[in-house]
Structure 1
Amino acid sequence: MHLWRVAGEKPTYRISSTLFLRGLGVIYLIAFFSLWIQVDGLIGTDGILPAKNYLERVAGYYETQSPTQSPYWEVPTLAWLGSSNTQLETLCVIGMLGSLLLICGFLPLPSLVLLWACYLSLFHVGQVFLSFQWDILLLETGFLAIFLAPLIRSRCFTDRAPPRIALWLLWWLLFRLMFESGVVKLSWNDGGDISLQNTWETLTALDFHYWTQPLPLPTAWYAQQLPDWFQKLAVIFVFAIELCFPFFIFAPPRMRRVASAGFIFLMFAIGVTGNYTFFNLLTILLAILLIDDACWPTRFRLRMAGTPTVSWVYWQQIRTYFLLPLTALAILIGSLHIYVALWPKATWSRETIVRFNPRQWLLVNSYGLFRQMTEKRPEIILEGSRDGKTWEAYNFCFKPGDLQQRPRVAAPHQPRLDWQMWFEALRWERVYQTTGKMNLRYASPWFVSLVQRLLENQPAVTGLLCVDRLAQSPSEPSFFRMGLYQYRFTDRAESLKNGSWWHRDLDWMSPTYRVSKTRTGILDIHSEENKLD
């Protein structure tokens, strides 16, 4: 690999563009496959939040509350054509097939359009289960990649120089992703509650990160045992990468390579201790775009050599007409997002974003990973019983539950229910700290629906959990309860003593609910007569 380019030689990015586009096909394939095996239980007809019910509510809202607006424009999704289990699965399968076409280099541009349309469709009906930053990042990246890709298959996929404007837009996306993620760590509590400690400012964030992150890996337990000086040094390193290196993107090629190496190393460091789905891989792909062709072996560069044809030049001119307004929008809205990250109390910038940004298309978005480091790890444990005395927990595949269970590897797959359970537990903790009590009236609607589906033993929903006697039983449990626990990693002494990965303390235990048939479902969760204690 050549580290330095020949003086006077204009940098090109054919090889990195090829790797990026084919790699993006792999990311899309992972995302669609991961969703395909969960879609019935999450948003299917008998799922937790049925897409059909959601679209009916959206249509009803715009018909009664905003008749001048079209629900088809405000919520753009192919699921308007049908949202049954088969149709939702078909969107996932089409996405997987389109991903394979992109990986192989056949019809790259049409494939990218198809992939973006399918994922946007699933994003809108996925509701809370597709509300993660990497979903948004994939949509924005996928849309910009449309303008980078060749129209049809070329000899080596991109043997002509990629459009410079499209390349710069992807660099601008990477800049915003990294810089905003660094800025929000320092500004999230500006003008807010002074009683809240910003662990990023005190360099203690990694004292909590490894065991409070949503789905840690086994390596996180060992990372937690590292000395304090190492944890503080790692936080300083994170700030250097996220706040300084993004500016190297717009520097000469040598500095871009340094930025690329820094971003890739940071993504590796994050991914080695936690399950973050395809986020790390997608960010690495964006970072690869910073590496110019001079860095790659000569034989690769020779294979990429080509002479633009008349049709290629004509297509480039057409594409430029679309890129110019997109560039203006990306710079305007992207800059405003950065301004908001720097000064969270700025209201005029937020109003401008709302006014000019077509949010339903997810073209330009804000980012802020690990904005506020959680200092506790609440976990919701759901339990069922057939006699009211012997209780069995519903076993989730990846989130902590059993104290003896070794943290599991999930990435690049995303178990979306397990992830949402982490956010719901944080919500419950806030309610419990504020009110001193907790019940299902304070729970999120999706969680209430989850409880109903579990008690009904809906196969689509119980299939999202690990195989256990309770979830897989042909009969419903007769009694049900929920507990809110505080989890933390064990230390070395505890681990050697009992072999546990986790230690937990009970914060709150719900009353025992009797499962009974009602007009509203298996269990009337708001009915006092169903409480036994």
Structure 2
Amino acid sequence: MGWFDAPDYEFAREVLQRGTAAIFLVAFLSSLGQFRVLVGEHGLIPRAARPLRIRRLRAASRRRARPTLFRHWYSDRLLVAVCVAGVVLAASVVVGIPQAGPPWVPLLVFLVLWLLYMSIVNAGGTFYGFGWEMLLLEAGFTVGFLGSHQVPPPTPVLLLVAWLVFRLEFGAGMIKMRGGSEWRDLTALYYHHETQPMPNPLSRQAHLLPKWMHRGEVLGNHVAQLVVPFFLFAPAPVADVAAMIVILTQLWLIITGNFAWLNWLTVVLAFSRVSDPIAHAVVPAIPERWTDATTSPVWWIVVVGAASALLVVLSWWPLRNLFSRRQLMNASFNRWQLANAYGAFGTVTRERIEVVIEATLDEDPREATWQEYAFKGKPGDVRRIPRQWAPYHLRLDWLMWFLPLGSVHEDWLYALLGKLLEADAATLRMLRHTPFGSVRPRFVRVRTYRYRFSTRAELRSSGDRWVRESVRVEIGPAALRDE
């Protein structure tokens, strides 16, 4: 069926399925390494200690709880089993095993990945309240309907992936225009590279660029998010050019920041509008023609058509949200987290306040010598170059960034302090450095510091990449005997 099949998008299908599966692989590995410490039986917010309560993102419908395998019973062993199953299934798609079978095989694998990871997200509470979680879920559900090598890529699914990219980009653009004035006066990038949640090795260099370049960054961002997405639905090669612009702007974000898999997955999804002839023209090593698959069978057209119709109907709510004065950011409108609303950084913080945890072995906290705990990703040591972590997601480090934006008096932070006072081995492995190893500290406290990137002259003089000044002590000193 001519209108249904898109034989010129075989390369796009390869990128979409293998790339999305690769992100699932990272997501399951991230949960395998962190979920038990954060939300496990003995975690900071332990699941087994109380009835399962799911922190829902802002959504139009909140009445029905979201599905999870852990609703009635949780154990760390079950969590490990879910993560291992997810890793194995995702890896199979990355190497192309399900794609070699009938079209229902990759569909089944992606649906299982979607359900398994949704179970983790819906049980993860605060530590899983990020927009890229629902983005991965929606992407996983959608790309499963691209089928296998036995059928051509379905045009409706490719357009639905393009619609997902449109919501992601245009939604973020509209959030910015409705947000802080720094986006409208083109000054947002004066601050963002320095104050973003988790800088990477090149963030400082990006911050030190001339201000005229920062204004150009913001202007280019507005074009890429508010104008270019409309051309994703144009015929080739216009759609190919639009996709390439999205990809290039996302690559700039990748090399200047650590936003988990948000930008990486956006790059993958943008390939939905890159046709085989254009891909071959840009990179001749990419074949111009991939397979000799015949037209899709009727049963597959019916399955894909039904799923596409469902996603089109569900898209009414995010479409309306895009043009609402009270636009929601990273919102789900149904319990299955399909056809969501996206967006990020409607406002940009203009100074960086870091929460630092310190400990001492001394008996008298008033005369004590305090030493810091070092986190893997967030700034601490002023001489240390920030590392590249994305697409891996350091959930604890990210939430530490959010604390100064609200209140530092979060239950999970007090739980973390308790774990540090106990020198809990699993918790200490979440950190880069602990001042006393496995020895229990006598007291801990929480301080805030104001951080900024050093200038080039300051770096040459002191060797410090950050300049910081103390703000105040927020919590403590506290010991285990304290209430």
The DSSP-based 3-state class of the residue aligned with 2:415 is helix
Equivalent in 426, 429, 454 of residue 460 of structure 1: 426
Separation of aligned partners in 1, 2:382 and 2:459? 11
Of 414, 425, 450, the residue aligned with 1:448 is 414
Residue 335 in 1 paired to residue 319 in 2? yes
Inter-partner Cα distance in structure 2 for 1:121 and 1:446: 21
Distance 1:143 1:511, change over 3 A: closer
Q: Deviations 1:69-103 (Å, cap 9, x if unpaired)?
A: 999x6131011364222111211111101101222
Question: Match for residue 316 of structure 1?
Answer: 301
* 2:102 corresponds to: none
Q: 1:243 to 1:102 in 2, by over 3 A?
A: same
The reply on whether 1:365 has 2:340 as its aligned counterpart is yes
The letter of the residue matching 2:120 is L
Written as runs of structure 1 = structure 2, the 5 A alignment for 1:12-91 is 12-53=8-49, 55-57=51-53, 74-80=65-71, 82-91=73-82
The superposition leaves residues 8-36 of structure 1 with CA deviations (integer Å, 9 ceiling, x where unpaired) of x9873222112211111111111111221
**How far has the Cα of 1:467 moved from its partner?**
3.3
CA distance in 1, matches of 2:268, 2:382: 36
Matches within 5 A, 1:416-431: 416-428=395-407
Match of 1:485 in 2: 449
CA distance in 2: counterparts of 1:514 and 1:301, whole angstroms: 65
**1:179-201 per-position Cα deviation (integer Å, ceiling 9, x unaligned):** 11111111125xxxxxxxx2111
For the aligned residues, what is the CA RMSD?
2.4
Matches within 5 A, 1:228-247: 228-247=211-230
Q: Cα gap change, 1:111/1:230 in structure 2, threshold over 3 Å: closer, same or farther?
A: same
Distance 2:88 2:475 in 1: 49
Q: 1:237 to 1:54 in 2, by over 3 A?
A: farther
TM superposition shift of 1:302: 3.3
- How far apart are residue 241 of structure 1 and its match? 0.7
Deviations 1:359-397 (A, max 9, x none): x21112111122211111111111111113111111111
Q: Distance in 1 between matches of 2:97 and 2:313?
A: 30
Equivalent residue, structure 1, for 2:293: 306
Name the CA shift for 1:270/1:296 in 2 (closer, same or farther; >3 Å).
closer
Q: 1:515 Cα deviation (Å)? A: 1.3
Show CA shifts across 1:306-338 (max 9, x none): 1136xx3322223323331331222x1121120
Query: Residue in 1 aligned with 2:57?
Result: none
Instruction: In structure 2, give the amino acid aligned to 1:494.
Output: E
Q: 1:382 aligns with which of 357, 360, 363?
A: 357
Among candidates 176, 181, 189, match of residue 167 of structure 2: 176
Give deviations 1:237-278, integer Å, cap 9, x for gaps. Answer: 111111110010121212111111110111111111111222
Give the residue type in structure 1 aligned to 2:12.
S
Q: 2: distance between equivalents of 1:54 and 1:252?
A: 54
* Residues 392-411 of structure 1 aligned to structure 2 (within 5 Å): 392-411=371-390
Q: Are 1:384 and 1:391, in contact at CA under 8 Å, matched by a contact in 2?
A: yes
Match of 1:223 in 2: 206
Query: CA deviation digits over 1:479-525, x for unaligned, max 9?
Result: 221111111101112111110011111121146434143xxxxx42x
Structure whose CA Rg is larger: 1
Structure 1 position 96 matched with structure 2 position 75: no
* Counterpart-to-counterpart distance in 2, 1:367 and 1:394: 34
- The whole-number CA distance in structure 1 between the counterparts of 2:117 and 2:339 is 16
| C-alpha contact (below 8 Å) 1:383/1:480 kept by paired residues | yes
In the aligned structure 1, how far is the partner of 2:343 from the partner of 2:475?
A: 38
Amino acid at match of 1:92: C
Query: In the alignment, which residue of structure 2 is the partner of 1:344?
Result: 326
SS at match of 1:374: coil
Query: Residues 152-167 of structure 1: matches in 2 within 5 Å?
Result: 157-167=148-158
Distance in 1, matches of 2:318 and 2:480, equals: 52
**Secondary structure of the equivalent of 1:409?**
coil
Structure 2 contact 38–45 (Cα < 8 Å) conserved: yes
Distance 1:54 1:286 in 2: 39
Helix, strand or coil for the counterpart of 1:52?
A: coil
Select the residue among 128, 131, 135 that pairs with 1:130: 128
2:113 to 112, 115, 121: 115
Report the residue type matching 1:395 in the other structure.
Answer: A
Seen in structure 2, the aligned counterparts of structure 1 residues 516 and 127 have a Cα distance that, compared at 3 Å, is closer
Contact between 2:53 and 2:123, CA under 8 Å: does it hold in 1? no
Query: Which sections of structure 1, spanning at least 5 residues, go unmatched?
Result: 1-8, 59-68, 151-156, 190-197, 429-441, 518-522, 525-533
Is the 1:22–1:105 Cα contact (8 Å) retained in structure 2?
no
Shift, 1:164, TM fit: 2.2
Is 1:500 matched with 2:464? yes
Distance 2:139 2:476 in 1: 48
Q: Deviations over 1:29-84 (max 9, x none)?
A: 111112211122111111111223464457xxxxxxxxxx999x613101136422
Q: Aligned residue pairs: how many? A: 457
2:399 & 2:62 partners in 1: Cα distance?
30
How far residue 287 of structure 1 moved from its aligned partner, in angstroms, is 0.7
Distance in 2 between residues matched to 1:511 and 1:289, nearest whole Å: 49
> Identity over the aligned pairs, expressed in percent?
32
Shift of residue 300 of structure 1?
A: 2.6
C-alpha distance 166-54 of structure 1, shift in aligned 2 (>3 A): farther
CA contact (8 A) 2:6 2:153 kept: no
Gaps of 5+ in 2: 55-60, 99-104
Q: Does 1:282 align with 2:265?
A: yes
Instruction: Tell me, in whole angstroms, the C-alpha distance in 2 between the residues paired with 1:11 and 1:47.
Output: 49
Matched residues in 2 for 1:327 and 1:57: separation? 31
- SS class of match (1:37): helix
Question: 2:456 and 2:252 mapped to 1: Cα distance?
Answer: 23
Alignment of 1:132-151 (within 5 A): 132-148=130-146, 150=147
> Is the alpha carbon distance of 1:222 and 1:83 closer, same or farther for their aligned partners in structure 2, counting shifts above 3 Å?
same
Change (3 A) 1:323 1:10: closer
- Report if aligned partners of 2:52, 2:71 keep a CA contact under 8 Å in 1: no
- TM-score, structure 2 as length reference: 0.89
Q: Distance in 2 between matches of 1:269 and 1:33?
A: 25
